[in-house]
Structure 1
Amino acid sequence: MLRICSLFTLILALSYGAASAQGIRGVLRVIDGDTFDVGGTRIRLHGIDALEAAQTCETEGGQPWACGDWTTRQVRERFQGAQTRCEALDQDRYGRTVARCFVRGADVGLQLVQEGLAFAYRKYSMDYDLDEKAAYVAARGIHGFKTISPARYRVTRRSGSAPERASGGCNIKGNISAKGTRIYHLPGQAFYDKTRINVKAGERWFCSEAEARGAGWRRAKR
């Protein structure tokens, strides 16, 4: 049995190595700011970390806005549908292929960090460290607003310390029904006061109806 397991492991390693050498090619479909589908393969971009979709930032005037959704839209506008080549480097704990990807010969991860659409993920790579610092100094993209890193945000969300009450003008409740339907409730609607937000279950607050609809929620009927 041990020999069989070892042989199976060796076959997987050789297959992954061959795929890495050949590269992954295809049309790019944006999942979020740092996760793509390319040629049927789920890709997690190497060395960068983009804002989570539910993250919000704060303007100089203290107004919240949906910078997580904004970041995903920006990445989608730039790269959705592009012919892409990716070099597989590793595999993460979710089974995604960690890769460096190129569109028209340019490193996608590098572009996102330089434009302030992603952070350098220093926990895993220092490749884009100086590029993020330059974007920060120039206040490009998300660096022009008050926010926290995606890694810190994920920690606070897992610990349950993510906000379960409205902050600033973000008082629209994004609820997920027992059937998985995403519905948002406006102040004054019938079930607004009764609706509770469970951030651990993926529910969230929105700052505007446009933001809620853009994230895939529909308005409550009453």
Structure 2
Amino acid sequence: MTVNQRSVAHAIAIVALAGGLPTAVSAQLLSGAVTVADGDSLTVGAQRVRLFGIDAPELDQLCVTAGNSWQCGARAREQLSELVEGQRVDCRITGLDQYGRNLGACSTEFLSLNEAMVDLGWAVAYREYSQDYVDAEERAKARAAGIWASTFTMPSQHRKASDPQTTTPSSGRDQTSAGRAAEQHTDYVSPDCRIKGNRNRKGQWIYHLPGMPYYDATRAEEFFCSEAQARSAGYRRAIVR
């Protein structure tokens, strides 16, 4: 049995212990073969479905492990594709999102896809909308599964940082109330990633390297593994005089 097969088997066992799979009660049910768009959305027939209550890294998103960047968004899509390959998928639709996509809980015969993606560490619990998968996230974090073995930006923050309508030209950092709420769920930080990112009194986003003046006194808003990662997130290096 491969490592991935053992992980999937673990997720199946957890879902079974938690009380089984979602059932279609007073909600629209979409069923059939699917195609996967990314780590938290798929298409059933002609219907796009966003997996409710979870948030996977965006396709262009990178995570950092031991100072090396890797495509965790693309890997999350691969994981969901592996889970549904050759399977009939049932999606219990509960509403629509702001883009008109169906929102729902999807499952194969034995597996809740929403919970499995979080439990395997390829998505996080989307706490802003649901608490359903918080326990699964805590299990994944404890095992350092999937993205939890790396340093990463929460997908919601990554989207906001990539959206010119929600970033300021001077800093590239989102300062909307929604952005601040998202930041309450902090990034996971590897002990090897010690560059501190902080907003100063002038509203500028600055990063501090270990050994720099004020490093120890700086309260980190975020941690980074490299200066390139900090700059790509909209920070500039602290000026040492």
Instruction: Indicate the TM-score class for this superposition, using the shorter chain for normalisation.
Output: 0.5 to 0.7
Match of 1:30 in 2: 36
Q: Which residue of 1 aligns with 2:158?
A: 153
Determine helix, strand or coil for the equivalent of 2:158: helix
Matched residue type, 1:115: L
Secondary structure at the aligned position of 1:23 is classed as: strand
Partner of 2:57: 51
* Percent of paired sites with the same residue: 36
Aligned residue for 1:195?
none
Does 1:71 find its partner at 2:76?
yes
RMSD: 2.0
User: How many Å apart are 1:20 and its aligned residue?
Assistant: 6.1
CA contact (8 A) 1:48 1:113 kept: yes
- Deviations 1:122-167 (CA, angstroms, capped at 9, x unpaired): 11100000110111111000100010110010111112738xxxxx
Contact map agreement 1:28 1:81 (CA 8 A) in 2: no
The 8 Å contact of residues 83 and 113 in structure 2, kept in 1 or not, is answered as no
Deviations 1:64-99 (A, max 9, x none): 111111111122122144211111111011110001
Return the TM-score normalized by structure 2.
0.56
Matched residue SS, 2:32: strand
CA distance in 1 between counterparts of 2:27 and 2:160 reads 35
| Structure 2 partner of 1:107 | 112
Partner Cα distance (1:95, 1:81) in 2: 27
In the TM superposition, residue 103 of structure 1 has moved relative to its aligned partner by 0.4
Secondary structure in 2 aligned to 1:147? Answer: coil
**Aligned residue number for residue 220 of structure 2:** none
Do the aligned partners of 2:61 and 2:71 also contact (CA within 8 Å) in 1? yes
Name the counterpart of 1:21: 27
Q: Matches of 2:85 and 2:26 in 1, distance apart?
A: 23
Question: 1:128 is matched with which residue?
Answer: 133
In structure 1, the gaps of 5 or more residues are 1-18, 163-222
